Structure 1
Amino acid sequence: MHETNLISPSLLSRTALGAAPLLLGQTLVRVTGDGEIRCRIIETESYGGAEDQGSHAFGNRRTARTEVMFAAGGIAYVYLIYGMYSCLNVVVGDKDDPQAVLIRAVEPLSGKDEELMRRYRGPVSGKIANLSNGPGKLCRALHIDRSLNGCSLNQMNGPLRIESGDPVQALPIVASPRVNIDYAGDYVSKPWRFYIEGNPYVSVKDKHPIPFKQA
């Protein structure tokens, strides 16, 4: 039997930059009509506050899409890219301070989890990691769409939750610039993407990552 301890509320109350590396190794659980899928969070990106030019809420931009980012930490922010692919974010921090962490890659915890993810994802070519080594890919594999926007991530009876997983201190975490945010001005090169070095599910491996040391 696996433990079912939800992640600490204190993690969800951190800023995006503080929470993003600490979400690595935690267990993302998706409850579907076909069963429960459990996977390890491998890669994240921080989108922190109104000053972040890479954030949808830059300049405190409040729209129908971004309003969920202004909630208190602990809910999902799900949006579409290219009008067709969903992306999952964990809203963190305080109310009215738009902070979110994009989940960029996950790894199934068991063969059963992988099998169910393949059923939702459809045919996957190339390496096995292509199943969920990108934000759009993992949402298809976990059957996550806009219907889950705003759902709680810290309730055991919800459709999507985050449980405690691997001790962060034991993971080889590195930092690097975020991906595909050429529009972000001075924030393009900030090392606000975090991943578990050496894990095959990392979506983009940086040539010169920065070792992350937990404070």
Structure 2
Amino acid sequence: MRTRRRERNPATQMIIGLFVIGLGMLFLLDNLGWLDLDLRIHVVPTVLIAVGILKVMQTRTQSGTVVGGALILAGAVIMLKSLGFLYIDWRVLWPLFIIAAGVAVVVKSTINRKTLEQGSASLDKDVSDSTVNITAIMGGYKNRILSQDFRGGEITAIMGGSDLDLRQASINGEAVLNLFAFCGGITVKVPIDWTVVMEGTPIMGGFEEKTVPPAAGGVHKRLILRGYVIMGGVEVRN
């Protein structure tokens, strides 16, 4: 099954660029003494809100929307408390963040279970192994895919890491893998007969490809990597 190629949204790229420019201008004005920025009040919650919005715009899954919404909520709560609009002690606030993270895990597991049940009902062979939906938050996730009809999916790493091994998998034509790393890292291992196409956007981070070029005249198999790396890294190798 051939995955339809989707072009990156220019509006999203423009929003990212304007946000980075604005953040740089704020730091410049602060260093020049024209502004008095408080890192706790202004910068950290603003970055969390911006990253959450970016994740919601980029995701193709319900669990990704939950993660993006949680980042937006965390940034908004921190900003409101720091500005004095929300009177909650930090000893009460940080357990609430832990509870929210647990709720996100439960929601994600429920979504994954429903997906597996729907796949079994439709008798779609190896549906659960043909696509991936990985979320690593403050932890590590390793997975090996054996499907001979890999169709792509989504990987999110926030202050954590994900290692996806596709070296024993195969693609029928083309697959798209959406990546999102915030203060985290993602490693993707691919077979030597795959062509890797990088279409990601690094923001104070980086994409690095260490694959061997496939032999000429072979079956055309393309893995397209899209998404955003913010203060993190993505590595693709054989």
Please tell me the TM-score bracket, short chain as reference. under 0.3
* TM-score under structure 1 length normalisation: 0.21
Which has the larger Rg? 2
Which one has the bigger helix percentage? 2
Query: Relative contact order (alpha carbons < 8 A, sep ≥ 6): 1 or 2 greater?
Result: 1
